[in-house]
């Protein structure tokens, strides 16, 4: 027993040191995790286990790395657990590590986040594997320099011209146009589908995806689960929900890329192939062996790179041009010496525009699209300057630091293109040069990972910037006080954070440099629309059979089963964007030399015999002027609206800009969601619409078409431009009325009918107009709109009874009701007929301001219009709702009272005086802002909405007085009222006449004038352009001076017969002998051929 005890003691004495040694060794190894070895590049001190992980921020790592470089040198290391990061900020080291040793530095670091999102099929994040080489080869064939010069340059030039056109039409959307430009180019190349407008669903989805992809992939945005695998088991809620965010991006990416490729596959089945990249890949896939998911991401990665980087550079360049105006002037001077006003710059001008090239390079240096380059992973050890870059290390290039190296450029944060003086070659030549000191910038990457789209990107950016400089002046915007608004160019506050970095929205003023340049843009846009955008391919004419070079202009397909012929080429005469009748030799669809073809569209009945210049993928053909333009026979060929997305979008915007103030029935911020909610996610946003939505849109287009500058509408008189849409809207209404009870009894159907009635009433009253307005009224009663706020009538109309959603829904009903009530007032007053709406049964609050409705402001106390006029007058005056339109409706109620009094055979002089007293009291009780504006008041676009209702209110009250005074032939007081109408009407600036309320001004301002945009209105001294018997003069007696207000007046008078636009007491007579006018009414002042209204003598 004693011996056994001694043995145990001896064993314990031996094991204890062993145990302590093992524990010490394990502790040492664990604590050594994160420690920097002596042979690594220097770096900040580490902490046990985590190393330097605590020093990496969630955003803006490139700024932190820049400060580290100043302390630890141009090559320093960071330890993230057992992993090593090497950050490079030296051109020579970058050349050595990533270019010369690219065989061992072309992999990507392991990324669980990227793997989860992409499934390992994303070219940007996959290792340098055989699949990676195959992907790059396919993309290189599509985007090599020769193919860009021979094929893609025509598309790039055409899209750049639309870029200029878009800046003219929608200058306020300057942040979006470069995105559409670059996205449309790459979409055309990859899928054969254009991006015709910023509203294209596939573009919106892509840029949303890119934002989310950028946010989740930025260094520091997710926990380092690859370096610390155990973090995968920590509840993600403690780590910023990184896994949920990752899976969300995965779902978005797979959905978008899959939808686009499936769209091509469906098109191939239905119509055949076109000459797009995805078509060629699908044709070759029997040999390639790619899965669907691999094809999705092969095209998707090219879509990402082609969409975001070019647009970001162009946007930052615009910001620089605003902030550094002297640079803009210098670049424009160079362009003007080479390119005159008769054409825009093209790619062949590149060699003659070295300073513009310097601007392009400086834009890429000044605000790089990425703060850090995409990381590389080393597959073997590299020794650089005596320091080890170990196998498995992650290597970053600090692009921000390289481009803002204060040792190289003292003024690194100043936009100075002169720093690139002499650097006139393309970026690809500098990237491949052995002289690393002369490399211009690092925007396209390094080594074997050099961007395969570098040639396409260079041309995108140069064409975009050169054309914008040629066309526009970019200046600081001004606030309401006229003070310039500074542009935030700071890379930290003025730019977004993420994997990709873009300028945040900024304000600027963009104007064409001259009218000649404006005209050139429109002309070239028409030309490229015809020569490039209209080369469509509903089916591929060369699906199974190809033409030969002996056929100079193939126009038909000999293949069986094809519906229409499409040439596989663009009519490119030379490589500078001009087009002619010569054709490139056509080749097999699968050949990288085959040119692009797009999906076909259709013509719209009644529109111009020319190409639709707002082309989407729905392109128009060009018939002869005598041809009948018919709708597409196949629904696949165009959207249900029959016009391009861009024209449709423009007409929607023109409605809200020019018509909606007078017909405010839609909430602008929610319109697209409510009307286009059934739109396709890929392709046209105007497909898949309900009949009601098409009714609304066509009626809307009928109202806004007269304001459009689209060449497709230019040959049509402005008054008639909406006729084709109006006819279609009437057909749709009749279809709903006959066949769809479910759609008929909806507020949306009523809104479409209101637009239809609104348009018809602008042309006067007729039997058709009465029927449509009557349908409006009956449908409004069917929907019980007259009792919208009946439950509030007892509660004193206090808004707190309603929640926000109920408030917004009711406001939509109120606005529809009051617009119908206004139409009833106008049509019945002008035609001397009884009113269809009984005011005594109305329980609807007056409308709120647009600001309250758009801003979801809780309903404030308002007022009803009822049988007793004093109640709403007093209630509105004491309520919080001081909306100008609400007060206008009260004034209109007085007009109704005046007309009813005038029409009553029992009305006495006492009744007339009573109405006059009400009018006088209301004049005095109107808010102070409603008092008559002084003549010198500056009216502009920003305040026209409010001022228009003020002017209309004064006109309505004076017209009411005129009506009751004429009833009893009180000529002196009637004359005073007429003067009041004249004074109010004379306040209308000439340029705002086209957007005046038609219910007031189609009677007070000539019907023709009300339909003609200001820049096309005849001046008073331009009598040659006026119809016979028409004179436009101001109210104060002056008959000369084009800058004075032009107003044509008629009286809303009550006589024995129908009111005409000619028979009015103050219609002026032109006395040619004395160049003066008299108050006689012997000569008519305006002609109107509207149905139901007597023509002027």
| Residues placed in the known binding site for heme | 451
> Which residues pair with residue 892 across a beta bridge?
none
Per the CB < 8 A criterion, the answer to whether 612 and 602 are in contact is no
**Cross-strand bridge partners of residue 476:** 508
User: Cα–Cα distances in Å, from 724 out to 427, 518, 624, 768, 899?
Assistant: 51, 28, 19, 16, 36
Relative to beta strand 83-88, strand 394-397 is parallel
- How far is the C-alpha of 162 from the C-alpha of 344, rounded, in Å? 12
**CA dist 305 to 124, 330, 496, Å?**
10, 31, 18
Angle, helices 668-675 vs 645-658, to 10°: value is 140
- Residue closest to 814 by CA, chosen among 706, 889, 727: 889
**Alpha-carbon gap, residue 325 to 334, rounded angstroms:** 15
Q: Rounded to whole angstroms, how far apart are CA atoms 675 and 538?
A: 28
Q: Which single residue is written with the structure tokens 């008639």?
A: 720
> What residues have CB less than 8 Å from 370, skipping those under 6 apart?
399, 499, 500, 501
Burial 1007-1035 (b: 16+ CB within 10 A, else e): bbbbbbbeeebbbbeeeeeeeeebbbbbb
Query: Strand 472-476 vs strand 394-397: parallel, antiparallel, or unpaired?
Result: unpaired
| CA–CA separation, 1029 and 203 (whole Å) | 53
Alpha-carbon span 444 to 309, nearest angstrom: 10
Checking phi first, is residue 220 left (phi over 0); if not, alpha (psi -120 to 50) or beta? left
For the chain, counts of helices (H) and of strands (E): 36, 10
> How far is residue 344's CA from residue 525's CA, in Å, rounded to a whole number?
11
Q: Which residue has the tokens 């070019």?
A: 310
CB 570 within 8 A of CB 275: no
User: Is the distance from CB of 1000 to CB of 956 less than 8 angstroms?
Assistant: yes
- Tell me the HSE value of 293 on the side-chain side, using a 13 A CA sphere: 11
Give the Cβ contact number of residue 476 at 10 Å.
16
CA distance 701 to 647: 10
Q: Which residues are annotated as a binding site?
A: 451
Query: How far is the CA of 1035 from the CAs of 334, 1012, 1085, in angstroms?
Result: 50, 21, 14
Bridge partners (DSSP) listed for residue 600 = 619
For tokens 């949303």, the residue is 208
């Amino acid at each position: 027993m004693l011996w056994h005890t001694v043995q145990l003691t001896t064993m314990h004495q031996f094991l204890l040191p062993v145990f302590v040694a093992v524990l010490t060794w394990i502790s040492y190894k664990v604590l050594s995790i994160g420690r920097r070895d002596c042979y690594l590049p220097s770096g900040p001190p580490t902490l046990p286990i985590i190393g330097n992980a605590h020093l990496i921020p969630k955003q803006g790592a490139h700024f932190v790395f820049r400060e580290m470089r100043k302390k630890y040198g141009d090559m320093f290391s960071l330890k993230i657990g057992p992993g090593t990061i090497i950050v490079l900020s030296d051109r020579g080291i970058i050349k050595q590590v990533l270019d010369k040793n690219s065989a061992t530095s072309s992999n990507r670091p392991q990324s669980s986040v990227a793997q989860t999102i992409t499934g390992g099929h994303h070219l940007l994040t996959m290792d340098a594997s055989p699949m990676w080489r195959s992907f790059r080869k396919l993309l290189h064939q599509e985007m090599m320099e020769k193919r860009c010069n021979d094929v893609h340059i025509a598309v790039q030039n055409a899209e750049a011209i639309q870029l200029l056109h878009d800046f003219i039409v929608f200058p306020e959307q300057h942040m979006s146009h470069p995105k559409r430009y670059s996205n449309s180019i790459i979409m055309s190349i990859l899928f054969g589908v254009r991006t015709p407008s910023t509203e294209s669903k596939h573009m919106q989805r892509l840029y949303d995806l890119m934002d989310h992809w950028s946010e989740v992939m930025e260094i520091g945005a997710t926990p380092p689960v690859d370096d610390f695998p155990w973090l995968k088991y920590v509840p993600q809620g403690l780590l910023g929900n990184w896994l949920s965010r990752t899976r969300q991006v995965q779902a978005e990416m797979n959905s978008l890329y899959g939808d686009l490729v499936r769209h091509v596959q469906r098109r191939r089945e239905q119509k055949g192939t076109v000459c797009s990249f995805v078509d060629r890949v699908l044709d070759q896939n029997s040999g390639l062996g790619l899965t669907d998911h691999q094809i999705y991401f092969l095209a998707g990665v090219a879509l990402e790179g082609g969409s975001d980087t070019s647009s970001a550079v162009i946007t930052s360049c615009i910001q620089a041009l605003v902030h550094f105006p002297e640079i803009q002037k210098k670049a424009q001077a160079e362009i003007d010496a080479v390119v005159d006003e008769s054409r825009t710059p093209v790619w062949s001008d590149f060699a003659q525009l070295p300073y513009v090239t310097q601007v392009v390079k400086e834009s890429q240096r000044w605000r790089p699209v990425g703060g850090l380059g995409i990381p590389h992973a080393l597959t073997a050890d590299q020794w650089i300057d005596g320091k080890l870059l170990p196998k498995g290390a992650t290597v970053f290039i600090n692009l921000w630091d390289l481009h803002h190296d204060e040792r190289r450029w003292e003024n690194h944060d100043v936009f100075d293109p002169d720093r690139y003086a002499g650097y006139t070659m393309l970026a690809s030549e500098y990237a491949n040069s052995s002289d690393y000191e002369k490399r211009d910038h690092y925007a396209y990457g390094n080594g074997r990972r050099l961007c395969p789209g570098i040639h396409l990107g260079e041309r995108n950016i140069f064409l975009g910037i050169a054309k914008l400089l040629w066309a526009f002046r970019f200046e600081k915007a001004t606030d309401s006080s006229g003070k310039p608004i500074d542009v935030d160019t700071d890379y930290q506050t003025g730019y977004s954070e993420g994997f990709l970095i873009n300028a945040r929205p900024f304000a600027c003023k963009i104007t064409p440099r001259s009218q000649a340049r404006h005209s050139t843009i429109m002309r070239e846009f028409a030309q490229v629309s015809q020569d490039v955008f209209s080369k469509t391919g509903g089916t591929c004419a060369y699906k199974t059979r190809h033409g030969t070079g002996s056929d100079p202009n193939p126009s038909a397909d000999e293949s069986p089963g094809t519906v229409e012929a499409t040439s596989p080429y663009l009519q490119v005469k030379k490589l500078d964007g001009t087009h002619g009748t010569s054709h490139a030799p056509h080749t097999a669809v699968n050949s990288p030399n085959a040119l692009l073809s797009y999906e076909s569209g259709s013509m719209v009945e009644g529109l111009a015999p020319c190409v639709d210049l707002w082309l989407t993928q729905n392109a128009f053909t060009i018939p002869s002027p005598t041809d009948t333009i018919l709708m597409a026979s196949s629904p696949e060929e165009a959207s249900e609206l029959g016009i391009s997305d861009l024209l449709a979008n423009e007409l929607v915007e023109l409605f809200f800009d020019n018509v909606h103030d007078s017909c405010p029935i839609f909430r602008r911020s929610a319109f697209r969601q409510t009307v286009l909610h059934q739109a396709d996610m890929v392709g046209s946003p105007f497909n898949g619409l309900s009949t009601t939505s098409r009714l609304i849109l066509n009626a809307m287009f009928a109202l806004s078409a007269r304001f459009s500058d689209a060449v497709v509408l230019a040959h049509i008189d402005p008054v008639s431009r909406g006729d084709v849409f109006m006819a279609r809207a009437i057909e749709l209404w009749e279809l709903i009325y006959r066949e769809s009870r479910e759609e008929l009894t909806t507020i949306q159907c009523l809104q479409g009918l209101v637009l239809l009635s609104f348009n018809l009433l602008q042309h006067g009253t007729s039997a058709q107009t009465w029927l449509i307005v009557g349908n409006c009224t009956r449908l409004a009663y069917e929907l019980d709109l007259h009792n919208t706020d009946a439950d509030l009538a007892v509660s004193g109309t206090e808004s707190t009874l309603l929640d926000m959603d109920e408030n917004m829904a009711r406001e939509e009903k109120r606005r529809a009701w009051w617009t119908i009530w206004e139409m009833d007032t106008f049509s019945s007053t002008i035609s001397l007929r009884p009113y269809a709406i009984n005011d005594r049964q109305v329980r609807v609050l007056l409308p709120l301001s647009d600001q309250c409705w758009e801003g979801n402001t809780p309903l404030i106390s308002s007022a009803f219009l009822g049988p007793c006029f004093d109640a709403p007058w007093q209630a509105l005056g004491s309520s919080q709702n001081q909306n100008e339109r609400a007060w206008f409706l009260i004034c209109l109620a007085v007009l109704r009272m005046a007309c009813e009094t005038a029409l009553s055979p029992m009305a006495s002089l006492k009744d007339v005086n009573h109405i006059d007293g009400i009018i006088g009291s209301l004049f005095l009780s109107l808010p102070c802002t409603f008092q008559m504006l002084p003549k010198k008041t500056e009216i502009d676009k920003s305040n026209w909405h409010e001022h228009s209702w003020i002017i209309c209110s004064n006109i309505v009250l004076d017209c009411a007085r005129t009506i009751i005074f004429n009833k009893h032939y009180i000529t002196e007081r009637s004359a005073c009222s007429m003067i009041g109408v004249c004074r109010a009407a004379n306040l209308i600036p000439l340029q705002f006449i086209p957007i005046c309320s038609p219910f007031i001004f189609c009677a007070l301002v000539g019907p023709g004038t009300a339909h003609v945009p200001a820049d096309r209105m005849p001046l008073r001294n331009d009598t040659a352009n006026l119809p016979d018997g028409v004179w436009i003069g101001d109210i104060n007696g002056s008959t000369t001076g084009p800058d004075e207000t032009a107003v044509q007046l008629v009286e809303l008078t009550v006589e024995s017969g129908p009111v005409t636009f000619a028979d009015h007491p103050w219609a002026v007579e032109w006395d040619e002998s004395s160049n003066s006018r008299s108050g006689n009414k012997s000569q008519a002042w305006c002609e109107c051929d509207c149905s139901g209204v007597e023509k002027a003598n």
